[in-house]
Structure 1
């Protein structure tokens, strides 16, 4: 008898790419009955069903106010669904957690461990969002902020005055399976030396311990990483349809045991390297502008995937404490920013059962940007800005204030620090007291497409009057 796709479907198998090869082999070798069944059991993909009950996870968070109650409940609701994903073996929630996206999507401030699986949605498009600090000694903080302001670049897209990407890195990236295409390399070059928008920042303050002036930058891999994420999600969805069709699409994964999984991991490491270079060029150029050498410089990611054997820790907004996750660690020190008017914490810590080797990555939010803006509706933007930044030199690169990034948009920093102590999420060894901060601001007000639209409208009005 001839074996067809219909034969396999009637035997209970789900159609997939493996059908063609299996059908050819079965017909060529005239398999039937028990022989056919045994062969199909071997070559058919293993179907991974979601866990019927969520894997237990550690809740290193509690509501400190009425406003936080709803936020915490939403975080637990999305984690309860997320932890049914069949690859997941452990998880934790940090004190700065807040939901993002649909139920079942990893929240900001969430950590999950997955066996033989990289989940692109769990590192998101902002791959390797991270922070780097440089100490410039006892310089005037205003002088440092002014110099940094002349160097950095915030907003959408790249910059006109390009910094040169190191040739050695570019040569390796060009041979990468996922990143060697023309679009990826264009983004790597044009976004080099840029910081993007949203909650990314350039912060200047002074060490509480030494008085030294320190600069901290916060951003991810920009379009270079976002392009890899898009590719990763497509591949993960292909695997999901084949091996775990009941898993939520947002939690699709690429098996590391597959060749594409290993190649994706290699690409993630290149994105990590690019991001570190991107931080470093801003710090180096600022040093050159100041005509001083840096005293100390170190960095850490807080939105990435970390490998330990065949287990992959996905930290969606969580700071890795354990040195096994940070191969270029400096004295086990990590940076945890809060908001522009609060110190950046310098912390260190050990892995415990409940922290899984991680700490918070910041202060987090209780409500969305839009809700926060509506909440401030009784006052003008200038009034809100004046109230919340009266003790710091706060600047928006676009010259348009974004009140969704002002201090009140974030959770109470003192509560986050208290919960860090309570749950054993790192020890604060120093604080970088705030002097000033630069953020993108509402750059879309003057985005190129809006400028063009305004110009076209004025031209139409002029023509209609003439």
Structure 2
């Protein structure tokens, strides 16, 4: 009887341990392949030779200009980090949007960055907030205050999931997709997927209510990503990408590690991204339908788009870190134009546009920042949060779910909306079809101020 091949034998032939080992071992032993046949069969699993960084950064379009010293400093940092990103061996092109700002150590894709790669998915380039997206529902002649009041009762901001008794159910289709995917099937991921449905997180995520400048209809817009399920997928993806980085390109920065799409891991990760996309869309939908049910009103229209995702066109993968897809080829379920929110005191823009050489099929995703949240708070340290809030939100119904003001989300924390809009026109980054004029919005607020761990620490000190 022929000796059985083991994983140790395959490793000794120069193949690092991988998911395909089990399938290969079964195939070799079931078919009793000869030594020559084994070598021929295994060649399909051999990884390419390691590659170094590109000597010259791949070309990219800089669709942003400075109007003052603060913006010059911001653009300089964006350019420096983008130059390093574009040295990654898989990269073939990129673009920077007018709302760009740095998002981490040098060499990290900036917010407002688009990076195109060949046959490679870079988890670090879509970041932990996978499929951060916006959804609009047209509530017709509904009163904006009624919509905002109902939304306040329907949504949930801050950490964790919804309280027991207020949780939603996964659809059977989504449940099966989670169970059948190597990155999503564990009990913890499925449990969090249930708990976090109908939640919006914190930071710049919001629920906005306003009126269409064209029709006068009341519109509600939600902004959030994939919450816990997406964050878990991101962590797993980064771990797999790091393993490939060590084998394929050890000089590549860890945040730019990639998973080759033509591997089993690449196929599974791409599939997991699509499932997380469906989960996020459902998450938006449940909040919107909860409002419609409370008010017993009909929905006249609805559309959505993500602005933090990976989009595929053939063997090219477009990593959009805070960039809105204009090109319909990126959205298989396209039902309407795209949404670009600016800040709580400015209209949400409804746009459409064409793909050009400089935009790669993308537009900005919002107003962006010229400085960090921390620096903005430092600049206003001499004034009370309440005074700043009253001044910047006059005439608007602005609410913080935690009941604590977060001044890093007030309008002055962002770039002037007029600047972003003007540069959209200058660089042909989308045409505005309509504007949703603000009535009010809900955000998480500074939930950490009274977080349970802070209260425990305070009690301990006393």
Please say whether Structure 1 and Structure 2 have the same fold, judged by a TM-score greater than 0.5: yes
Given candidates 416, 422, 425, the residue that maps to 1:421 is: 425
* Aligned counterparts, 1:90-109, within 5 A: 90-109=93-112
Residue equivalent to 2:137? 134
Question: Aligned runs of 1:22-101 on 2, under 5 Å?
Answer: 43=46, 45-101=48-104
Equivalence for 2:446: 442
Q: Show the counterpart of 1:410.
A: 414
Q: Output the CA distance in 2 between the equivalents of 1:236 and 1:169.
A: 25
- Aligned partner of residue 317 in structure 2, secondary structure: strand
Cα deviation, residue 16, structure 1: 4.9
In the alignment, the residues of structure 2 paired with residue 313 and residue 45 of structure 1 have an alpha-carbon distance, to the nearest angstrom, of 22
| Equivalent-residue separation in structure 2 for 1:303 and 1:130 (angstroms) | 7
Q: 1:393 aligns with which of 379, 385, 397?
A: 397
Per-residue CA deviation, residues 358-416 of structure 1 (Å, 9 max, x unaligned), is 00000000000000000011211111001100121111000000000000000010000
8 Å contact kept, 1:45–1:242: no
Aligned to 1:24: none
TM-score by length of 1: 0.89
Deviations 1:45-88 (A, max 9, x none): 42121100101100100011221110000000000010000000
In 1, distance between residues paired with 2:211 and 2:154?
20
For the 8 Å contact 2:15–2:46, the answer to whether it is kept is no
Alignment match, 2:333 = 328
The aligned residue for residue 157 of structure 2 is: 154
- Structure 1 residue 29 displacement after superposition: 6.9
Q: CA deviation at 1:165?
A: 2.2
1:176 maps to 2:181: yes
* Aligned position for 1:3: none
- Aligned-partner Cα distance in 1 for 2:315–2:35: 37
Match of residue 208 from structure 1: 213
What does residue 193 of structure 1 align with? Answer: 198
Report what 2:319 is aligned to. 314
* Partner Cα separation in structure 2 for residue 224 and residue 396 of structure 1: 24
1:329-376 deviation per Cα after TM superposition (whole angstroms, max 9, x unaligned): 123x00000000000000000101100000000000000000000001
Match of 2:7 in 1: none
Partner of 1:241: 246
* TM-score normalised to structure 2 length: 0.90
Q: Please give the alpha-carbon distance, in whole angstroms, between the structure 1 residues aligned to 2:236 and 2:47.
A: 25
Please give the root-mean-square deviation of Cα atoms over the aligned residues, in Å: 2.2
| 1:1-58 deviations in Å (ceiling 9; x for gaps) | xxxxxxx9xxxx999559xx9xxxxxx979xxxxx9xx99x95642121100101100
**Residues of 1 paired with 2:239 and 2:46: CA distance?**
24
Partner of 1:260: 265
Whether 2:278 is the aligned partner of 1:273: answer yes
Q: 2:237 aligns with which of 232, 240, 244?
A: 232
For structure 1, the residue ranges without an aligned partner over 5 or more in a row are 1-7, 22-27, 31-35, 459-466
Partner Cα separation in structure 2 for residue 221 and residue 238 of structure 1? 25
1:453 CA displacement: 2.5
Residue by residue, what CA displacement relative to the aligned partner does 1:399-458 show, whole Å, maximum 9, x if unpaired?
A: 000000000000010000000000000000000000001000000112122222334444
- Aligned to 1:324, the other structure's residue is in SS state helix
- How far apart, CA to CA, are the structure 1 residues paired with 2:47 and 2:96? 36
Which has the larger displacement, 155-164 or 127-136? 155-164
Partners of 1:255 and 1:345 in 2: CA distance = 36
- Determine the C-alpha separation between the residues in 2 that align with 1:405 and 1:132: 20
Structure 2 counterpart SS, 1:304: strand
> What number of residue pairs does the alignment pair up?
433
Give unpaired runs (5+ residues) of structure 2.
1-10, 22-33
Partner residue of 2:115 out of 106, 112, 116: 112
Q: 1:186 to 1:134 in 2, by over 3 A?
A: same
Report SS of the residue matched to 2:378.
helix
Query: C-alpha deviations, 1:190-216, integer Å up to 9, x for none?
Result: 111000000000000000000000000
Q: What is the match of residue 378 of structure 1?
A: 382
